A and B are shown apart, each in its own frame.
Chain A
């Protein structure tokens, strides 16, 4: 399979890339890891007139923490960089859990977190993780930078809030208000398949009290779902069997699964509850061991 014919540019600076997009007409695409875009182009689901490859722009492959604890992930930070990161395991348990289950090891060498967010696939794993952490995407355009909260970034399936001449240059995870725990669990039929169900849970605790909670669901609706009520059931109190059970129930209620070749709607809804409970039980055990 070949993509249809397109013009290719590989600029060496963001400004140059943005001006190419600005002048590029209606249908230009940014190429980062290419692990979703190239397959889409081969299948002719996407036939851009201009492809702006940002891989030659230096200084975008970082992931780093600011002194205040804000985590920044550059547009060329690959899934594999996050999988092998020394930075994440201690401070970002939800991200550390998700990185090794994105696609497969070879795809992880190329694909990027920011690209995955832009692709806005309802079955993308990173969108749930970033949503559960209250993160945002930084877009850069001709008139400067703006931060778009993840909750507003995805407009619909495969549709994001970027303007045609903007590039998503960074994902930002705000600092935790206490000790972070949580995880990401993904049910897949085999390695590299899209999630049948994915659940991201991120909580922050001060002492025993949960000060902030985020729960987001992958693959059980037309878009990534923020299970806000489920998260609210956890905050302002210590984790308990009761609050965990309630959060699991509310998260399952927030899911909008459809029966398909990956499983029945009933099964997927059940798995949402099971995964929420499983992640929170582990977090509870870890907190007890730490105390």
Chain B
């Protein structure tokens, strides 16, 4: 993996403070050389090449970049890549198996939970964290858990239905 860094034209350039980190992403063990200022979202998208994690606002508002770190939903634009050293990251690419969609993905298809699809990966990862904590959420619980994720198409009704669909499916499995 090659990362390209800005040449700031000063003596600091020769001393880019690199760190070697080990982490797991969607079950695969990885080693990366990162500059401390690299954001987790960039490590995922550019470093690991997993572009399912979207960068929306880049200001901790929209939640499109939500991933799970050690099972907790975090906004990956607001965490440094070096901070996942020794930790486990899950992105939307980790949901489906080779032959089968995850119930959340199936739910979004069944209930038309996406329009443009930009917010969808973040919505799904926030929903996954919710369902792991609370397998039988009420509609209110779902709305509360997704309140840090914005949908620019304002398709919230169907997103909530999709998560409830997935919750029912997961309970019946």
Contacts and interface: CB of A to CB of B under 8 A. Distances in A.
Contact of A5 (B19, B37, B73, B144): B37
B16 A35 contact: no
A35 B78 contact: yes
A191 B35 contact: no
B19 A191 contact: no
Interface residues of A, number: 30
B75 A106 contact: yes
Interface in A57-112: 80, 103-107, 109-110
B162 interface: no
A109 B74 contact: yes
Interface string A29-58: 001001100110111000000010101000
Size bin of chain B's contact surface: 20 to 34
Contacts of A35: 60, 78
Contact of B74 (A6, A31, A106): A106
Contact of A7 (B36, B61, B83): B36
B75 A55 contact: no
Given A10-B82, A55-B83, A106-B63, A5 B12 contact: yes
A273 B38 CA distance: 46
A-side interface mostly: loop
A1 interface: yes
B120 interface: no
A192 interface: yes
A43 B82 CA distance: 19
A2 B39 contact: yes
Contact of A38 (B63, B80, B147): B80
B145 A105 contact: yes
A8 B82 contact: yes
B58 A51 contact: no
A3 interface: yes
A23 to B, nearest CB: 16
B72 interface: yes
A34 B39 contact: no
Interface string B7-49: 0100010001101000000000000000111110000000000
Interface in A187-203: 191-192
B120 to A, nearest CB: 15
B99 interface: no
Nearest to B34: A8
Nearest to B40: A38
User: Which of A6, A104, A106: most chain B Cβ within 10 A?
Assistant: A106
Contact of B149 (A31, A34, A106): A106
Given A53-B83, A105-B147, A1 B36 contact: no
A2 to B, nearest CB: 5
Nearest to A53: B83
Nearest to B82: A8
B87 to A, nearest CB: 10
Contacts of B147: 104-105, 191-192
User: Which of B8, B79, B80: most chain A Cβ within 10 A?
Assistant: B80
Contacts of A109: 72-74
Nearest to A39: B60
B80 A34 contact: yes
A31 to B, nearest CB: 8
B105 interface: no
Given A4-B37, A105-B144, A110-B72, 4 more contacts: A34-B83, A104-B148, A106-B73, A109-B73
Interface of A: 1-8, 10, 31, 34-35, 38-39, 41-43, 51, 53, 55, 80, 103-107, 109-110, 191-192
Q: Which 5 A/B pairs are nearest by Cβ-Cβ distance?
A: A104-B148, A8-B36, A106-B148, A191-B147, A3-B37
